[in-house]
Amino acid sequence: MSSVYLQTLGCRLNEAELEQWSVGFRERGFGITNKANDADLVVLNTCAVTAEAVRKSRQLIQRLHRANPQARLVVSGCHAALSASEVAETLGVDLVVGNQDKDRLVEITVDRLALPTMPTLATEPGETSLFARGRQRAFVKVQDGCRYQCTYCIVTRARGDERSRPIAQIVDEINRFHAQGVHEVVITGVQLGGYGRGIGASLPGLVDAVLAETDIERIRLGSVEPWVLDEDLPSRFGNPRLMPHLHLPLQSGADSVLRRMARRTRVAAFATQVEALRSAWPDFNVTTDIIVGFPGETEQEWAQTMAWVERIGFGHIHVFSYSDRAGTKASALPEKVPAQTRKQRSQRLLSLAADLKAAAQIRQIGRTVPVLCEGARTEMPGGGTRWFGYTPGFHRVAIDVPHHDVMENQIVDVRLDAVDRDAGLLVATPC
C-alpha cells in the first residue's frame, strides 16, 4: 500500500481540506503516515496570508523534499495559487494543484502522477487521519472564496469567488466524523458568513440543520466577519451544543483605518455586537485579529486602537504586523509605517492582549465546565498526569489528575481553580 504524508500551514480551512484529502486518499487505498520520510507521496497545503507565511511555505517545500527526495511532492494552497510558476520550478515539486481544483486534489494527483491505487471495494474502512495526527476535533470546510475586497487581503485573489457546499453533504460529513468518535467539529470557510449565497442557504440555516440532524456534542464556528451577525446568527448560541465563542476580526480600533482597509464595520457597532453577546451569555468569549501599522496609521489612530481593544476586552488577540503583499490595494498606499514603529506597537499590543486574556481567564475561576481532553499530556512531579483541553468558551485548560487514567478524547467536567499566566491557560481538577 502506498503511503501519503499530509501537512499544512495557515488557517483552519487548510486543516479542513487536509481532512478531506485524507479521506479521499484512504478511499483509494492509500495509507496515511505522520512521518514525511516514510511516505511515497507528500502533499503540502501552503499559505500566503502574510509575507512570513510565504517564506515559511517556500522553506517547507524545500525541507520536505530534502527529507524524502524519493517521494512525489504535491503542493496546493494560497501560495501555490499566487505563485504557481515559481512553485512548479521549485526543487522537488512534481505537481501544483490550484485552489480552484482543491476539491479534486486526490483525483488529479492520482491521475497526473499515474499513482497505483487499489479498487475502492478492496480498501478496509477505518478512521481518517484525524486521530493519526493526534486531533480530537474535526475541521469541516463548508465554504470557499470571498466577495469582499479588504485592501490588505491577498486571499480573495488566491481563493476566488464564493462557493458553498450543500447542507446535506455537510451534515453527512459531520455524522461520519461523529461515528468515528469525534466529539467536536469546527465549521469553517474563507468568508464563513457568506455561506449559502447562490444555493438558497445561509449560515444560521446551516447551524440549525447541524443542530437538528446530527448528535455531535460540540459545534464551533470558525472566524466570522462581524457584519454577518446582523443575520440572526447569535440567537443560535442558546443551544448548549453550539460553543459560546466567536472569532470576530476587528483589524483596527480606528474607523479611519477601517475605511482605508475597506472593512464593512465600525468600532462602535462592533462593540455593541460584543456587548449584546455577553449580555445574553455572560461566559461568551470573543477573540479577534488586529493589524498593526497599516499604511498611514498615525499615533492618534494607534491610540484609538489600544483604547478600544482594552474597552472591549478580548479573550485572545492574533496580532499581525502589517506587511505589503504585492497585488493588494494596500501595497500602493502611501505613508508606510516604519518597521521599528510597527515592532514597538506590536509589543505594546501583545502586552495588553496578555493582560486581557489573563483577566478573562480569572473570571472563569471557580466555575465547573465540560472540557474535551486532548492527546497532549505531561507527567506531573510527584505522580499524576496533566491533560489539556478547551472549555466551551475556548479557554485552554490544564487538568491535573492524581492518577494515570487515559482521558484522551473524553469530555469531562472540571473545576477551574487557577490561572497559569506564564503558560496562558487555566488550571483545573476533575469534579
pLDDT at 128: 45
Nearest CA-CA partner of 370 in 326, 428, 321: 428
Residues 358 and 249 in one domain: yes
Residues 144 and 207 in one domain: yes
What are the start-end ranges of the E strands in 78-145?
A: 95-96, 137-144
| Residue 125 confidence (pLDDT) above 50 | no
Lowest mean pLDDT among 125-129, 236-240, 294-298: 125-129
Classify strands 385-390 and 245-247 as parallel, antiparallel or unpaired: unpaired
* Mean pLDDT confidence for 399-403: 82
Q: Is 70 exposed, middle or buried (0-12, 13-18, 19+ CB in 10 A)?
A: exposed
Residues 329 and 379 in one domain: no
Residues 229 and 322 in one domain: no
We report the CATH number of the domain holding residue 295 as 3.30.750.200
Residues 118 and 20 in one domain: yes
Q: Which of 176, 210, 243 is the last residue of a domain?
A: 243
Residues 106 and 140 in one domain: no
> What is the count of structural domains for the chain?
4
Q: How confident is the model at residue 278 (pLDDT cuts 50, 70, 90)?
A: very high
User: Looking at the domain assignment, is residue 413 inside a domain?
Assistant: yes
Number of Cβ within 10 Å of residue 35's Cβ equals: 10
Q: Which domain holds residue 201?
A: 136-243
We report the CATH number of the domain holding residue 382 as 2.40.50
User: Looking at the domain assignment, is residue 385 inside a domain?
Assistant: yes
User: Looking at the domain assignment, is residue 129 inside a domain?
Assistant: no
User: Looking at the domain assignment, is residue 130 inside a domain?
Assistant: no
Residues 228 and 278 in one domain: no
Q: Which of 187, 213, 243 is the last residue of a domain?
A: 243
| Residue 252 and residue 289 in contact, taking contact as beta carbons nearer than 8 Å | no
Reported as a single tens digit per residue, the pLDDT across 193-241 is: 989 988 999 999 999 999 999 999 999 999 999 988 876 889 999 999 9
User: Looking at the domain assignment, is residue 159 inside a domain?
Assistant: yes
- For the entire predicted model, the pTM comes to 0.81
Q: Which of 218, 243, 268 is the last residue of a domain?
A: 243
Residues 299 and 406 in one domain: no
